[in-house]
């Protein structure tokens, strides 16, 4: 139970940090914010890696591989598509006006 309480501590503090940091993101970046933060939620991947790698039976490993694949799509797709979007946000090129 003590471990659970400690985990709740970490969770609550992290939520507050999230609110503070993200409140300042302007509207024009809300879509990249969502896809980028989405990629971060793919952190479940590290839990999936352990499941896929600890070899506790075929069912467990199959579950692990599926979890790794799903989470990797989330992570890789999320960060890449965010980068693709952010690349497009440009200031007015010099000398145009």
Please report, as residue ranges, which positions from 10 to 49 form the binding site for another protein (by CB under 8 A).
10-11, 14-19, 21-49
Interface with another protein includes 94 (CB under 8 A)?
no
> Is residue 51 a contact point for another protein (CB under 8 A)?
yes
For residue 64, count CB atoms less than 10 angstroms from its CB and return exposed for 0-12, middle for 13-18, buried for 19 or more.
buried
Number of residues interacting with another protein: please give it, by CB under 8 A. 84
- Least distance from another protein to the Cβ atom of residue 2, Å: 9
Tell me the closest approach of the beta carbon of residue 23 to another protein, in angstroms: 6
Assess contact for 39 and 86: CB atoms under 8 A.
Answer: no
Q: How far is the CB of 16 from another protein (least distance, A)?
A: 8
Determine the Cα–Cα distance for residues 14 and 96; give it in Å rounded to an integer: 44
Which position has the token pair 């989330």?
74
Q: Does 95 bind another protein (CB under 8 A)?
A: no
Which residues, at least 6 apart from 97, have a Cβ–Cβ distance to it below 8 Å?
none
CB of 59 to another protein, least distance (A): 7
């Amino acid at each position: 139970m003590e471990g659970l309480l400690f985990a709740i501590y970490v969770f609550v503090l992290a939520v507050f940090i999230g609110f503070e940091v993200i409140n300042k993101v302007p509207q024009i970046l809300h879509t990249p914010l969502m896809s980028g933060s989405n990629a971060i939620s793919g952190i479940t991947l590290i839990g999936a890696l352990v499941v896929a790698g600890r070899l506790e039976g075929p069912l467990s490993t199959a579950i692990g591989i599926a979890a790794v694949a799903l989470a990797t799509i989330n992570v890789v797709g999320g960060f890449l598509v965010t980068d693709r979007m952010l690349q497009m946000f440009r200031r007015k090129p010099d000398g145009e006006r």
